[in-house]
C-alpha cells in the first residue's frame, strides 16, 4: 500500500491494490477490507432515494426550505462516504485521495450545517425575533468556520475537531429545549440527544481504533472500528430524521402563546417584587 492508504496500523489484510476507475467499480462485487464501509453507506443512499421525499409529511408543513435542508443533510454524508471508500485506492495517487477525503468531509458538513437548521430553528422558535436571528446567524457562521477547517485539516484529529463548535452550540440548544423557553417537539427530546451522542461515540471508537487495537489483524474485513462507526452514524441520522420531521410538523402548528404567557407572568411577578 502507498503510505497515504496505511492509515490504520491494526488492519493487516484485505487491501485492494491501486485500481483504475472501472477496477474500483468492480470492487463492489468482491469482498475486501472496505466492503462493509461501502455497503453501510451505500445502502442508505438507495433507501433514502426510494423513500424521500415521501418520508416528509408535506401536507402538514408550511415551508419547503427547511424540509429540503433536512433531505440534503440526510443524504449527502452517505454519498461523500460511499464515493470516498469506493475510490480511495484509485490510481490517481495521494492528491486524488485527499480530494476524496475532502468530499467525504463536505458530505458530513452538509448534514451538520444544512441538516441541522430545522433543529436549530425549532429550538429557538418561541424566542424573540432578534434572539432567533442571532442564534441562526451564529450557527451559520460557526458552520462556515467548520467548513474552512474541514477542508484545510491535515490530521485525523483536526478533521474530527472542526465540527466541534456547531456541536457545542447544539448541546446548548439541547439544554434550551429542556427549559420552558425552548421550542421543538418535546416528545422527540431523546432523539435530539441520540443524534449527537451516538455519532460522538462512533467518532471516539473510530479514533481509538477499538477493537482492532486489541485484536490486530483479526477484524480486517468486518467489525473493525470504522465499520462500527459507520453503522452508528447511520443510526444517528435515523434519530436526526425522526426528530427533524417531528420538529417541522411542530413548527407548522406551534403556538408560542404559553411562552409569552410565561414571560408576562415573570414580568408581573418582577413588578410585584419591585412594589
Where along the sequence are the contacts to Zn ion (CB under 5 A)? 81
Q: Do you find a cis peptide bond into 211, omega within 30 degrees of 0?
A: yes
- Residue 41 assigned ligand-binding role: no
Distance CA 52, CA 190 (A): 23
Nearer to Zn ion, 176 or 200 (CB): 200
Nearer to Zn ion, 227 or 239 (CB): 227
DSSP secondary structure of 94-124? HHHHHHHHHHHHHHHHHHHHTTTHHHHHHHT
Angle at 163 between CA 225 and CA 196, to 5 degrees: 65
Query: Angle formed by the axes of helices 225-253 and 35-51, to 10°?
Result: 20
- Residue 226 assigned ligand-binding role: yes
Nearest distance from C-beta of residue 84 to Zn ion, angstroms: 7
Nearest distance from C-beta of residue 81 to Zn ion, angstroms: 5
Nearest distance from C-beta of residue 206 to Zn ion, angstroms: 8
Nearest distance from C-beta of residue 34 to Zn ion, angstroms: 9
Nearest distance from C-beta of residue 100 to Zn ion, angstroms: 11
Angle at 235 between CA 230 and CA 239, to 5 degrees: 145
- Residue 85 assigned ligand-binding role: yes
Which has the closest alpha carbon to 162: 139, 146, 138?
Answer: 146
Nearer to Zn ion, 81 or 195 (CB): 81
Give, rounded to a whole angstrom, the gap between the first and last alpha carbons of the chain.
78
Query: Angle formed by the axes of helices 164-178 and 189-208, to 10°?
Result: 150
Nearer to Zn ion, 80 or 184 (CB): 80
Nearer to Zn ion, 79 or 122 (CB): 79
Q: Which residue ranges are tagged as binding site?
A: 85, 226, 230
Q: Which residue ranges are tagged as binding site for Zn(2+)?
A: 85, 226, 230
Amino acid at each position: 500500500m502507498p503510505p497515504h492508504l496505511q492509515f490504520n496500523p491494526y488492519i493487516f489484510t484485505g487491501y485492494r491494490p491501486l485500481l483504475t476507475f472501472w477496477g474500483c467499480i468492480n470492487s463492489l462485487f468482491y469482498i475486501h477490507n472496505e466492503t462493509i464501509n461501502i455497503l453501510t453507506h451505500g445502502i442508505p443512499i438507495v433507501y433514502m432515494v426510494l423513500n424521500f421525499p415521501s418520508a416528509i409529511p408535506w401536507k402538514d408543513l408550511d415551508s419547503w426550505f427547511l424540509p429540503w435542508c433536512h433531505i440534503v443533510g440526510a443524504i449527502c454524508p452517505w454519498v461523500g462516504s460511499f464515493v470516498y471508500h469506493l475510490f480511495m485506492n484509485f490510481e490517481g495517487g495521494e492528491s486524488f485521495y485527499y480530494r476524496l477525503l475532502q468530499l467525504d468531509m463536505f458530505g458530513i458538513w452538509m448534514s451538520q450545517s444544512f441538516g441541522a437548521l430545522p433543529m436549530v430553528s425549532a429550538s429557538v422558535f418561541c424566542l424573540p425575533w432578534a434572539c432567533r436571528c442571532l442564534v441562526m446567524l451564529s450557527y451559520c457562521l460557526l458552520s462556515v468556520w467548520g467548513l474552512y477547517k474541514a477542508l484545510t485539516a491535515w490530521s485525523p484529529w483536526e478533521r474530527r475537531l472542526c465540527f466541534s463548535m456547531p456541536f457545542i452550540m447544539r448541546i446548548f440548544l439541547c439544554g434550551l429545549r429542556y427549559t420552558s423557553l425552548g421550542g421543538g417537539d418535546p416528545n422527540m427530546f431523546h432523539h435530539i440527544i441520540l443524534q449527537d451522542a451516538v455519532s460522538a461515540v462512533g467518532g471516539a471508537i473510530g479514533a481509538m481504533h477499538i477493537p482492532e487495537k486489541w485484536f490486530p489483524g483479526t477484524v480486517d474485513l468486518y467489525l473493525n472500528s470504522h465499520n462500527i462507526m459507520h453503522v452508528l452514524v447511520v443510526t444517528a441520522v435515523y434519530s436526526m430524521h425522526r426528530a427533524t420531521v417531528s420538529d417541522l410538523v411542530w413548527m407548522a402548528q406551534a403556538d408560542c402563546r404559553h411562552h409569552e404567557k410565561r414571560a408576562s407572568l415573570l414580568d408581573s411577578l418582577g413588578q410585584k417584587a419591585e412594589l
